[in-house]
Structures are given as structure tokens and as C-alpha cells.
Amino acid sequence: MQRREFIAGVGSAAAWPVVARGQQAMPVIGYLDAGRSERDVTLLRPFHRGLSEIGYFEGRNLAVEYRWADGHYDRLPAMAADLVRRQVTVITARAIGAALAAEAATRTVPIVFNVGATRSSWDLSLAWVDPAATSRA
């Protein structure tokens, strides 16, 4: 997936629940990362640049809740659950461990992820095309 498509997916997923409910609330992205904040902060530049390209600016019309596991993958499930409790609009997961933790934490919050493996190779049951389909019966 190209960077622009990924960022567009995050922005679209962040906006659709608010639009669907007719609310004026600021969307909140839950950013879940297995890495270290001090090392991976450079990865946020393209994330923010991509959001700005589609009209979203942190602190102005978008909030971001960051969770960094600092290499401790065992922390990801609790961090994902915390984001769900805080009722974020969408979770963006960087790395397969973060995507799996987010999937385990919710069936209602859209999850956008960008990993190097195919979805089926990790048995991710996230909605591939339709974010509304993240809820399973």
C-alpha cells in the first residue's frame, strides 16, 4: 500500500463515524506503535504530512492519542484496550503486533494498518475494503 493511500484511509476512517452521526466533535486517531517514541518520531513526519494533504491538522481539527510500546510487545494489548476505552474514532497501527493487539481489543473501532506482510498470512480479520465491516457477527 502506498503512503498516500494509507494516510487517506486513516483520514477517511477518522471522519466517517463523525459524519455518519452528524456530530461536530473532533475526530481522534489512536496511534499504536510497538517501537520507541524517541527513535520512531521521524516516522510521524510523513504521517502528519499525509494528514495535512487531506485537510487534517493535529490540534486544529484532529486529535491524536499516541501509544508507544518501546519494544515491549506485551504492552500492546493494554495500550490498544486503553485507546478503545478512550473512544478513539480510529486506530492506526504500525507493525503487525500493534495491528493484532488492536483487532483483539475491538470489533467496532475501525483499524488502519500498514505492515509488510499480507493480511491473510497473519490471519487479520480486519475489514479490507469497508471499515464498517470490522464488526463481526
Identify the CATH assignment for 3-123 out of 3.40.50.2300, 3.40.1160.10, 3.40.50.2020, 2.30.30.40.
3.40.50.2300
Of 40 and 16, more confident: 40
Residue 131 to residues 36, 42, 45, 46, 69, Cα–Cα distance (Å): 28, 28, 25, 23, 25
Name which of 127, 112, 124 is nearest 1 in CA terms.
Answer: 112
Residue 135 or 99, more confident: 99
Written as one string, the DSSP assignment of 103-117 is HHH-SSS-EEEE-SS
Domain spans, the chain:
3-123
Alpha carbons 65 and 89: distance in angstroms, whole number = 10
Averaged over 27-55, what is the pLDDT?
88
The grid coordinates listed for 110 are 475501525
